[in-house]
Structure 1
Amino acid sequence: MKEKLKEYLINSDWDGVRRLASTRKIILSKLLSFTFNPDEEIRWKAVDALQIAVGIWIKKDVKAVREFCRRLFWMLNDESGNMGWFAPQAIGAVLAGNHEKLANFFPMLISVLDGDERPEIVKGVLWALGHIGPIHDDFAREARFRIQPYLLANNAEIREEAVKVMQKFNIQEKEG
């Protein structure tokens, strides 16, 4: 299954991902493993595929999806022993596509910024906030407030990500 899934990711075969996801809950774990792939393109495609797969499984087993989300947040914890650098992006994709049933995880995502100073994690959380915020107005207000300090961050990559996210929010306001 993992090789077939990798083939789907490489080819951006989202219908193939949907077919696998419709019958195999283990796809969530398999896709998560691809967020550790050395190939950045595969990591990003795994994030996109997670949004698709969770969208299917949330209709079948909300409890399992919530547990999966908790697992993603655990990966951000130093005690987990994981180097879950792409966990924030995975969280952002999962929450963006499944707002109503996973809304309780939004405050948890925002709170990651309270004490985590690892640039990879901060940048990933900012990306996640930018991915979710333009889709969900109620979340965007709180996220915008929390992102503003990062516009002045010493780390250039974090600053750039914060600017991109704020631009997404501003575009959303103008269109709305």
Structure 2
Amino acid sequence: MSRFRRVKKTLREILADPAWQDRLSELDDYPPNILVPPLLNLRLDKEELVRWRSVTAFGITAARLADASMEKARTLMRTCMWYMNEESGNLGWGIPHFMAEAMVRHERIAVEFHKILASYIFCDEECDGNFLDHPELRRDVFWGLARLAGERPEYVVGAERFLITALDEEDSYNRAYAAWALGGIKAASAREKLTQLDADATAIRTFADNELMDVTVGEIASEALRALD
């Protein structure tokens, strides 16, 4: 069995374990660069929980890499950006989750790459953005911005007006995650639109506080409104 397959098998066992959080310390047994390829692969795992938990593991791994060598961390983040590039031939599913979690776990990464993450939702000519036309791929960006806003809101405030625009998106996940992010940055300018979403009973399933949860768009909007107060 190749090293890649062996490490991936071990990682998947850890992430599929109900006690996975207690086992994350086992990642320290591996150099971070060895963990990156199998984690990138696990973002596409057949099990939803494994996919989401791989985000946490990636963030921890990226932070370890940055502590050892910021240049290697930059290379890792640029690799993620390459996955988001249509010309790469790759699908970027889950990559914005990974990018955001790396920024949550390491401030230096956030300082250098938060504008890149936000650029994927920029949707006018005034901004030099990388707007993603695919609404389901934008979901991953909105979740990433919401996750980052909950821990390091100062790196998301620059995306405020685009997040407000996203409250009108047809995709229910995008509306919900935009509301979540706006609550995280305490965007008072979003109050009116968040109030309009308060009664949105559309259900979504997402990952928050290390758990899968079923919530409605309205519940997330209500929580964002409470954050404004």
| TM-score where L is the length of structure 2 | 0.69
Distance verdict in 2 for CA 1:102–1:161, change over 3 Å = closer
Partner secondary structure for residue 92 of structure 2? coil
2:24 corresponds to which residue? Answer: 14
Say whether 1:79 aligns with 2:87. Answer: yes
Partner secondary structure for residue 100 of structure 2? helix
Which runs of 4 or more aligned residues in structure 1 lie more than 4 Å from their structure 2 counterparts after TM superposition? none
Q: Is the 8 A contact 2:59 2:102 kept in 1?
A: yes
2:174 to 143, 158, 172: 158
Cα root mean square deviation, aligned = 2.2
Code of the residue aligned with 2:182 in structure 1: it is M
- How far is the alpha carbon of 1:132 from its aligned partner? 1.0
Q: Please list every run of 5 or more consecutive structure 1 residues that lacks an aligned counterpart in the other structure.
A: none
Distance of 1:61 and 1:141 partners within structure 2: 28
Distance of 2:148 and 2:180 partners within structure 1: 13
Q: How many residues align?
A: 174
Distance of 1:90 and 1:104 partners within structure 2: 15
- How far is the alpha carbon of 1:79 from its aligned partner? 0.9
Distance verdict in 2 for CA 1:134–1:160, change over 3 Å = closer
Question: Mean Cα displacement is larger for which, 131-140 or 103-112?
Answer: 131-140
Pairing of 1:26-175 with structure 2 (within 5 A) = 26-114=34-122, 115-170=131-186, 174=227
Code of the residue aligned with 1:141 in structure 2: it is V
- How far is the alpha carbon of 1:174 from its aligned partner? 5.0
- How far is the alpha carbon of 1:80 from its aligned partner? 1.0
Code of the residue aligned with 1:19 in structure 2: it is D
Code of the residue aligned with 1:117 in structure 2: it is D
- 1:54-82 deviations in whole A, cap 9, x for unaligned? 11111112111111101111111111111
Code of the residue aligned with 2:66 in structure 1: it is I
- 1:87-128 deviations in whole A, cap 9, x for unaligned? 111111011111224412111111111321212221111111
Distance verdict in 2 for CA 1:87–1:24, change over 3 Å = closer
- How far is the alpha carbon of 1:28 from its aligned partner? 1.3
Q: Is the 8 A contact 1:134 1:140 kept in 2?
A: no
- 1:137-170 deviations in whole A, cap 9, x for unaligned? 4213213332110001122222122223223333
Q: Is the 8 A contact 2:102 2:109 kept in 1?
A: no
Partner secondary structure for residue 113 of structure 1? coil
Distance of 1:160 and 1:130 partners within structure 2: 10
Code of the residue aligned with 2:26 in structure 1: it is G
Distance of 2:99 and 2:116 partners within structure 1: 10
Of all paired residues, the percent bearing the same amino acid is 21
Partner secondary structure for residue 167 of structure 2? helix
Q: Please list every run of 5 or more consecutive structure 2 residues that lacks an aligned counterpart in the other structure.
A: 1-6, 123-130, 187-223
The structure with the greater share of residues assigned to strand is 2
Distance verdict in 2 for CA 1:157–1:135, change over 3 Å = closer
- How far is the alpha carbon of 1:134 from its aligned partner? 2.6
